[in-house]
Amino acid sequence: MITLIIVIAVGVGIAALIAGAWLMVDSEAGGPSLAENRLDTLAKLRKDVDDPSQASALYAGGFDEGKDRLDALLKSLPGMGLYLEQADLNLNAGKFFGLVGGLFAAGIGICFVTPIPILLGPILGAMLASIPFLYVMFMRNRRMSKFGNQMPEALELLSRSLRAGHSLAAGFGLIASEMRDPIRKEFARCFEEQNLGIALEEALDDMTERVPNMDLKFFAMAIILQRETGGDLAEILDKISHLVRERLQIQGQVAALTGEGRMSGIVLLAMPPTLFLTMLYLNYDYAMMLFTDPMGRKMMAGALVMQLLGAVVIRKIITIRV
């Protein structure tokens, strides 16, 4: 009974640490109100006004007040709703935390039905619970990278639209109709927000908050300054597009030069867990001395600390910001 209480207490502590680390990722992200959530949904779903099924789903969802309040409460957690939105996953905050809690409980439950020691339950549960976080971060980073690669083409398209005599809002609509996701979705949302009466500056500010891309911030700043001081916006966009292309080219060269370092880091970080699992399979009792013997536990703790320090150092070495 005491062992079970200890396992549960340690599990809750690890879960709290995971949640705290996640919340610290973006502590400046504020929580939207219920009305703002509905407006965001309207702006996102109105991108295809010819599809009546989407409109029906939108207005039908407005009557589910209990679900909306719960989702708004969970999305108010700093960084949580923003990260899910940036990853563009069909998953709200409530379902996400339900999945995390289920995986954590499954990790503890596995220890009750397998020879794995019960004291390792919280660790196994934390490992399983971290999978959704890692997946969201992977999808977010991939989407942000794809958005950055689409920026030069979008800027050139907008520049040609301005030279053809179209307005800036019409240029946003052209990007939304001619290009692919994720940049299509973001500019479509910005275009719809303007149609809903939101000022251009506020719509651009919202888009730069949703997409933390340096080139997009340059683009938004250039538009705001041009509206205040005047000038040829098409020429400004051409210069920004050229600058972005040059930077992306340098980033590609840096990625090629640091490829060996990244592979070395993956191999070095994967070797200790692989060897431990191999030893656990070949000689279970011998490997479990790392957890049952006091000196073994100290060695395991030291190994984990050194692994984390090694991962941080390798990442610092191979990360070159352009």
Q: Specify whether 153 is located in the same domain as 204.
A: yes
Looking at the structure, tell me whether residues 321 and 246 fall in a common domain: no
What's the average model confidence in pLDDT over 66-93? 63
In a domain, 28, yes or no: no
Do 223 and 306 lie in one domain? The reply is no
Same domain, 253 and 299: no
Same domain, 236 and 266: no
Condensed to tens digits (0 to 9), the pLDDT of residues 204-215 reads 888 888 888 888
The whole-model pTM stands at: 0.62
Q: Are residues 165 and 264 in the same domain?
A: no
Flag the least confident range among 107-121, 247-261, 289-303.
107-121
Same domain for 153 and 208: yes
Q: Which of 257, 278, 293 is the last residue in one of the domains?
A: 257
What pLDDT, in 10s, does the model give residues 10-61? 455 555 545 544 444 443 344 444 444 444 544 444 444 444 444 343 344 4
Is 69 a member of any domain? no
In a domain, residue 64? The reply is: no
Q: Is residue 239 part of a domain?
A: yes
Task: Give the pLDDT confidence score for residue 301 in this predicted structure.
Answer: 83
Task: State residue 51's pLDDT score.
Answer: 45
Q: Is residue 133 part of a domain?
A: no
Looking at the structure of the chain, the number of domains it has is 2
Q: Which of 235, 257, 279 is the last residue of a domain?
A: 257
Domain ranges, residue 205: 146-257
Residue 298 lies in a domain: yes
Largest CA distance in the chain: 77
Question: The domain spanning residue 174 has which CATH number?
Answer: 1.20.81
Do 237 and 151 lie in a common domain?
Answer: yes
3-state secondary structure the chain: CHHHHHHHHHHHHHHHHHHHHHHHHHCCCCCCCHHHHHHHHHHHHCCCCCCHHHHHHHHHHCCCHHHHHHHHHHHCCCCHHHHHHHHCCCCCHHHHHHHHHHHHHHHHHHHHHCCCCHHHHHHHHHHHHHHHHHHHHHHHHHHHHHHHHHHHHHHHHHHHHHHCCCCHHHHHHHHHHHCCCCHHHHHHHHHHHHHCCCCHHHHHHHHHHHCCCHHHHHHHHHHHHHHHHCCCHHHHHHHHHHHHHHHHHHHHHHHHHCHHHHHHHHHHHHHHHHHHHHHHHHCHHHHCHHHHCHHHHHHHHHHHHHHHHHHHHHHHHHCCCC
250 and 159 in a common domain: yes
Rounded average pLDDT over 290-294: 80
Of the three residues 205, 227, 257, the one that is the final residue of a domain is 257
Q: Are residues 225 and 306 in the same domain?
A: no
pLDDT > 60? residue 174: yes
